[in-house]
Structure 1
């Protein structure tokens, strides 16, 4: 979906002590099998506030840049800077998270997100002159936050409650996407000039501050081991290693995200020229996603992950086809609702299975930070590939038909992700 909300909805899924398999987390021994402990609930609250702040302002960020520049390329290069820097930050910050204080990395990401929106607020319409530097700053913020979030998520969940956590995370992200963009759209259209944008950026800054405060209730977790800079390359060079098949699947997942995370909200605005309608689009699609993530979180099990992911993959591709008839608000709404309905079936099994793979042995658990960095490298590679297609196609032809074909092209790639992941979805063994 739009850059702010969709990026968070996809990131919450990118998310122990020293022994992962079959053991209770520290301080969680009293809960029942499959239940979420207090630290998991607190982490969900941090993610929800972080997502709400981004949903308020990030939903309209691409629109803000578009209105200032009228350029598809500016938005593309802003996003390029964001993707590359986020992936690089994951790799570099991996050492900090593994050997030092991962909580400080989490907080730094939140603070930098606040700094980003503060700069956009101060720059106003001149932000269009600093597209790439702003993208780099936003990428750094996301990198520091999400690598820490992913590691903490892995440490406080187990295979028997990871689907539940992911379902709740998606539900909360959807809930944030219901109210926040709709309120933002009303404020932007009801206030003259840039005042509406200034107000929502300011509100986001306040929420980021509250998120930092809340994060201090997350326990500081023990650091262990030394960070291996080339760990990912060693995994890929090892014959018979599961990551030689899993990493291309992650790349395939990233190709779609690389375009859809920012383009959908932008084309909704371009088709309607009304921020209120973009807010309503987000409200409706997020309401549907709230229900679908809740149901998926309750119903998905290791035994049905493979057919569920196949159905989800096919359906989120088929719902692109109505845009060939005409790209207007109604067809975009059909696309958005269909995607919201079936996205959980695609994304939850894949993400959960990958984190199960990370926790397959004591050795891989000790290398969890490196594996999470490897996963991010795959997502970044895929996102850059998808974005490169955008940067090649749009200067040649930026018609609605060309955009729809681009969406279909990158939208077909997740089928490869399902095919590559299928052997691991059919079994809990690696």
Structure 2
């Protein structure tokens, strides 16, 4: 198969032909091949080595801490002041700070120790929950500060994580890694929010909130400890601040289209990421219902991510992705009948069932493009920054649209049309990416 012929290797000097020899590998290519040899892989790239498994564990710990408290931070703020726009500004502060952190921290990640960036991201998350614990009910007056701290955490963590993810995976196992990451995330999403909801509803006042924020802080500390076992790989060259701009200015190449798709992807993420859990609380006035919602939808996602990670091959990405996109749009329609716990469950289950068909091909394809040749791979930090800037620009656009609409009206039919419009952005993602979803041999354009 075509994907089995892919190799990371040297490009002939600007000649466009790939030299697929072992002698041509150097830098991180050699490091990764050595890791796999040590792990005893019989097919390079087909199995997970110890570094890949460790990265999955660190990701799972970071996800667990956020799953325990992430959704409930918005509910905590909503209970103090029931204001959609306030929640939107909290998310917007997070997104702006995260984008700036990605761009500024790129130099540190490329030229120094990216693992310290990952650890700092986890540590700042612990600081965020410490601030929430200290401020308690006064936190609602500091949403810009809280959003900025959370944005710093996300920026430092995900920049380093995505660079390491690129280094320890390949086109042969990237879909599988994303499937496993989704599988673990779904398992955590089943248990952690349910525990949080149970603790919050079972304890008087805001004691439950303080407890889950404290537990999240402890899990972040454990994540930092495990991160010290991840191997540091040297990234060649110096950080080029304007590399992303020059890439987008090129007339030829895939990145103009890819960047547009990333912006479109971020539009949905920016709003649905904070709004759905809050809608469950508004519909039920019960934190335990949020836990049950997460338990049910994450159980479905666990199955679907496992299936996609196991059976979705690169050749099937295009067809699988459009099926996922159309289903994700269709499940919004029941809200026009009634926004209730039942219709939210229909939405949640439908999304959990089909979203892996959308996210796994998109994520894998973008990183395949980053690794299409040696020169591109050596600028992997700059390309990861460009990817994240695209996503965050989209998130900011979506959130600003949300704030503008809810500042004008919070009538149910207005919110429903807003959700349908924002929730249809994955269709634009597919239209832009449909011809870039299958890896190609080095030296050939997409």
Equivalent residue, structure 1, for 2:133:
121
Change (3 A) 1:17 1:376: farther
Residue pair 2:28, 2:167 contacting (<8 A) in 1 also: no
CA distance in 2, matches of 1:17, 1:53: 37
State the TM-score, normalized to the length of structure 1. 0.94
Aligned residues: 414
**Aligned with 1:357 (options 348, 352, 369):** 369
The answer to whether 1:347 aligns with 2:359 is yes
Q: Radius of gyration: which is bigger?
A: 2
- Matches of 2:440 and 2:158 in 1, distance apart? 26
Alignment of 1:66-77 (within 5 A): 66-77=78-89
Whether 1:18 and 2:27 are equivalent positions in the alignment is yes
Contact 2:110 2:235 in 1 (8 A): yes
* Map of 2:110 onto structure 1: 98
Judge conservation of contact 2:317–2:361 (CA < 8 Å) in 1: yes
Q: Could you say which residue in structure 2 is the equivalent of 1:314? A: 326
**CA RMSD of superposed structures (Å):** 1.3
Contact 2:121 2:156 in 1 (8 A): yes
- Cα pair 1:17 1:25 within 8 Å, conserved: no
Among 315, 318, 328, the alignment partner of 1:303 is: 315
| Alpha-carbon distance change, 19 to 50 in structure 1, aligned in 2, over 3 angstroms | closer
1:389 partnered with 2:398: no
The residue aligned with 2:42 is 32
Note the alpha carbon deviations across 1:278-307, whole angstroms, 9 max, x for none.
110001000100100000000111110000
- Stretches of 4+ aligned residues off by more than 2 angstroms: 16-20, 22-26, 426-430
Aligned to 1:294: 306
Does structure 1 residue 207 correspond to structure 2 residue 207?
A: no
> 3-state SS of the aligned residue for 2:279?
helix
Contact 1:18/1:362 (<8 A) preserved: no
Q: Deviations over 1:137-166 (max 9, x none)?
A: 000000000000000000011110001100
- Aligned pairs (5 A) from 1:412-423: 412-423=424-435
> Which runs of no fewer than 5 residues in structure 2 stay unpaired?
1-24
- Structure 1 gaps of 5+ residues are 1-15
Match of 2:177 in 1: 165
* Change in 2 beyond 3 A, CA 1:19/1:126: closer
Secondary structure of 1:27 counterpart: helix
Kindly tell me: are residues 238 and 78 of structure 1, through their superposed partners in 2, closer, same or farther at Cα, counting changes over 3 Å?
Answer: same
- Counterpart mapping for 1:58-73 below 5 A: 58-73=70-85
Post-superposition CA distance 1:320-345 (Å, at most 9, x none): 00111100000000000000000000
Distance in 2 (CA, whole Å) between partners of 1:42 and 1:58 is 23
What's the offset of the Cα at 1:400?
A: 2.1
Equivalent-residue separation in structure 2 for 1:416 and 1:183 (angstroms): 37
Q: Aligned runs of 1:144-293 on 2, under 5 Å?
A: 144-293=156-305
Q: Is the 8 A contact 1:269 1:278 kept in 2?
A: yes
**Could you tell me the TM-score, scaled by structure 2's length?**
0.91
